[in-house]
Structure 1
Amino acid sequence: MHDLLQQFELGETRFSQVQLFEYDQKTPIEGRWYFIHIREERSSFLADQSVDLRRPIVERGRWEPGFSEDRLFVLDPEKVGDVDLWFEERVKRVVFFSDRLRQAIKAAKLKTRWMGFRECGLPQ
């Protein structure tokens, strides 16, 4: 995943290489491991056009996704710009991927079930 992400526009997002150890805390786990710090943030979220979101909470007025399969985040593509991986300043606990990055991840056959990719809508 690290190598693939390096080919995309990540803005302020950074990686730090880390060493992982087995349960005994002494035996290194083989391979290259990275911590990703997603620092790129956009303000393209359109709450008034999005569907099934929880009301903004006190913490900076940020929205949370609802639980239904109908939920939909609507984003203004002009405000997203050319970045491929980002957070929205008014949305809590959601990482956004550009469609071209999502397609590249799928094409590389990386396991993504845990990512829960969902389509975003465009403004009306």
Structure 2
Amino acid sequence: MSGKVWFSSVMSNYLIGNKQGLRDKYYGEDWEPAQHEVIRASAKVLEAMEKHTHGYALERTDFPEATAVFDKKCFRRVGDLFVVGRFYAVKERLAEVLARFDLGNGGLVPFPIFQEDLKTPVEGKFYYLNFGARKRTILPNESKNVELVASNSATGVEIWKVNPWAEDGDVALSAAALAGPDLWIEEIVRDGLFMSEALAAALREAKFKIDFELKECAGLWRRCNDRVLPRPALRFRNPAHHPAGSIYRQNPCGGKGGRLSAINWRRFECQREQDCAAHQHGDTRRGAERFGHRTSCF
């Protein structure tokens, strides 16, 4: 996987799955009523939905057996990514793109969509997007515009969400994000998809009629001769200067904490590239100063 990772907030888009004109049939159950109102789900379906949104691979019988169109006008508006029951599904063109990448233990599960008679198949191919990869690489304390939404004092587990106004570089990940599947869900992030640079590029190139709301993550790594080097922390918490423990970016050229200006950020990145080059030419002392120890400039 290349040295870039992308975050998608598409799972937070409530318009996906809203009034699609579909009714579902689960295994061993009758067809749901033909209505736009959300049907109360059984405990079994809710359990499967919870696993689905947390990135666990499901069995075929966990998904609806089939779905059918009862409102053609609404169904015509359904995009390449949609919802069947309470599970994400994709149309054929998006499936073809996803199939080229590592989806972990999940994959694409075909299912039928019928017309109003519940017998005649709708033209086209449709697939459930069976998530099957989970990672724990996000670094909340190094990130910006992330919010703690739940915590368990007994286990120490915290659940975070990325705010809708997050920008490129706000979400920080460890180098472990570069390994493994191209599409995954972070264990401690609610309603977020993460993907490799290759997959993000393929989605952009295909120009689907859906906004995946991609934001580039800040990878806390740099590569020098295939060696992964840690990236210095870019934030600090200073309750003395900033009420309520607000997190601010640290000024790379000294001084009080605050947002990095575009100029200072470019100077910071330029200096890191110089350090990387110095490391490649054997100047390990300089690399150690920059990457292993804090200096006056950082």
- Note whether the superposition's TM-score is higher than 0.5: yes
Q: Distance in 2 between matches of 1:54 and 1:78?
A: 22
- Cross-structure match for 2:162: 65
Q: Which has the higher contact order (CA 8 A, sep 6+)?
A: 1
Superposition RMSD in Å: 2.1
Distance 1:54 1:24, change over 3 A: farther
Deviation at 1:47, TM superposition (A): 0.7
| Residue of 87, 91, 115 corresponding to 2:185 | 87
1:33-72 paired onto structure 2 within 5 Å: 33-58=126-151, 60-70=157-167, 72=170
Instruction: Choose 1 or 2 for highest CA Rg.
Output: 2
The gaps in structure 2 that reach 5 residues or longer are: 1-93, 221-231, 233-298
State how far apart, in whole Å, the 2-side matches of 1:39 and 1:95 are: 12
CA deviations 1:71-120 (Å, max 9, x no partner) are: 7211113344042100011111101111110101112222331x211111
For the structure 1 residues 111 and 43, does the alpha-carbon distance in structure 2 shift closer, same or farther, using more than 3 Å as the test? same
Query: What is the TM-score normalised by the length of structure 2?
Result: 0.38
How is 1:1-124 mapped onto 2 (pairs within 5 angstroms)?
Answer: 1-23=94-116, 25-58=118-151, 60-70=157-167, 72-113=170-211, 115-123=212-220, 124=232
TM-score under structure 1 length normalisation: 0.85
Aligned-residue identity in percent: 25
Q: Secondary structure at the match of 1:118?
A: strand
Q: How much does 1:17 deviate? A: 0.4
Q: 1:28 to 1:45 in 2, by over 3 A?
A: same
CA 1:4–1:67: 2 relative to 1, 3 Å: closer
When the two structures are aligned, how many residues end up with a matched partner? 123
Deviating beyond 4 angstroms after TM superposition, the runs of 4 or more aligned structure 1 residues are none
Structure 1: runs of 5 or more not aligned? none
Q: Which has the higher strand share?
A: 2
User: Normalized per residue, which structure has more helix?
Assistant: 2
Question: Any conservation in 2 of the 1:42–1:80 contact (CA below 8 Å)?
Answer: no
SS in 1 for 2:115: coil
